[in-house]
Structure formats: structure tokens, C-alpha cells
Amino acid sequence: MVGLAADNPLVGTWKLKSYVWTTTDGKISSVFGEHPTGYLSYSADGRMYAMGTAEDRIAPHDIVPSDKERLELYKTMFAYAGTYSVEPDKVVHHIDNSWNQIWNGTDQIRFYKLSGDTLTITSARARSPYDGQDGQFVLVWEKVREAR
């Protein structure tokens, strides 16, 4: 396991640039549109969180969304947090809390590539929580640098 402090290239905050789903039969889709929003953070103490939302999400008509609005909001987001362990080219998210309760207590395997300030994360093949099809997610993140 790579250390969780300075020698860990994943430590820091990352901004979501794209979120693509490829089914096992080769169909490709931008799950949350061309410009999703989200953040991924890996801390030096071994904690992580990830959250993302689709572009052009609905805005509820009131502070308390209707049931229909709640469903639409749920379908256009992901969010989870936990601990993580990292190896060369692989990071495992050990989920404590998730927008999808079935993920709690699971290990989510992700493969990563770093190129400068760009982090590309590819999920292990699995069923999509959005449509139930088999495939892989590819998320591209950009390192967030401190404001000066």
C-alpha cells in the first residue's frame, strides 16, 4: 500500500470534468451531460469523499421538493465517503456512507492514471446503479490548486 501522506499522489481535491459510462456491448454515454459538477477528495489521514451532479439539474419549486422532484434529484447525483487504500494504478474506496445505501460497507475498486493535474479513474466492471446494465464508468478529474 502506498503511504497516505506526502508520497501519495492522490492526496488533495479534484474537480470533475467528465463522467462517461461504457456498456459491455460498447455503448458510450455521458451519464450527467457534457459538463457535470463534482469533487473528489483524498486526505492524508486516509479518508475520502466523492460527489457529483448532472449539468442542468432541476431546481425544486420549494425548499421541500415534491416526491417527483426528489426522485429526479436522486437520479442525477452520486455521493459517498469512507476510507481508502491505494496501490500503484488502483485505489479501493471502503464505503462508510453513500447516496445508495446498498454501497455502505462495500469496497469500490477503481483504477487510476495520473497525467500532470489530470486524474482518470475507471471503475471495475459492474452493474450501473442508474440503468442496471453492465459496464464501466470513466471519470476525469482535474487537480484543484490553492487560490493565491
Confirm whether 6 is domain-assigned.
no
pLDDT in tens, 48-58: 999 999 999 99
**Helix (H, G, I), strand (E, B), or coil: what is residue 103?**
helix
- Amino acid occupying residue 102: I
Counted domains in the chain:
1
DSSP codes of every residue in 121-148: EEEPSEE-TTT--EEEEEEEEEEPPPP-
pTM: 0.88
For residue 55, the domain's CATH number is 2.40.128.280
Which residues of the chain carry a pLDDT beneath 70?
1-6, 147-148
- pLDDT tens-digit profile of 77-101? 999 999 999 998 999 999 999 999 9
Domain that residue 49 falls in: 12-143
